[in-house]
Amino acid sequence: METQKIGKLILIRHQESEWNKLGKWTGFTDIGLSLDGLKKAKEIGKQIKDFHFDYIFISVLKRTKETLDQILSESSINKDIIIESVKDINERDYGDYTGKNKWDIEKELGHDEFVKLRRGWDVSIPNGESLKMVYERSVPFFLNRVLPILREEKNVLIVAHGNSLRSIIKYIENISDEDISNLEMDFGDVLFYDVDNNGHILKKEILKV
């Protein structure tokens, strides 16, 4: 049986924000990119300038829009392309830890508990979200909005956040609840996926900028 042709999925994390630079948990706070973040996003645009996109999704937070704006400024991407802002791929809500320095929290909690909190699957922050909760909003968006576009043989770019992208990657790559703590979405990485009709991985390429 012939495999159905499907578009390519490209995932990019927003680049360094002002709070990333300071080591602060940002979450839903609408912080813009640092100068280094703007430069890195522009460089990504140069590296993928000839790639054809049919549809682009970003979160509603401006650090994803600023990243995309820099990418588009250096690329030959059709400027009339549909760009949609979606809250389902916003960053994890860091609740009571929002705005606090990550490394200060590590000292308070101890290294092991800090790693569980930061990277674990079902560990909630007080008045915030766990990665599982992020997954429960980002993956339905991927399945209901993105996958139908890919099935039309169209290429989709998603510019989002470390945890919303980790959630989507968990689904795509069938990563276990235990192993998801080992997955990091680095600044400067551009992930290219070929997926099957159910949105699971067939092929993955990583461009490091």
- From 111, 88, 117, 198, select the one nearest 150 (Cα to Cα): 198
Q: In Å, how far are 113, 167, 185 from 119, measured between CA atoms? A: 10, 11, 12
Q: In Å, how far are 56, 123, 131, 174, 191 from 183, measured between CA atoms? A: 24, 16, 12, 12, 13
Q: In Å, how far are 16, 30, 86, 106, 115 from 99, measured between CA atoms? A: 15, 11, 23, 14, 18
Question: Which of 14, 66, 129, 161 does the annotation list as catalytic?
Answer: 14
Compute the distance between CA of residue 137 and CA of residue 87 in angstroms, rounded to an integer.
Answer: 9
- Residue indicated by tokens 């290429």: 155
Element (H, E) at 9: strand 8-13
Decide: 160 and 177 in contact? Cβ < 8 Å. no
Question: Which of 16, 66, 91, 129 does the annotation list as catalytic?
Answer: 91
* Residue 74 annotated as catalytic: no
* Residue 152 annotated as catalytic: no
Compute the distance between CA of residue 54 and CA of residue 177 in angstroms, rounded to an integer.
Answer: 32
- What would you measure as the largest C-alpha separation in the chain, in angstroms? 57
Q: Which residues are catalytic?
A: 14, 91
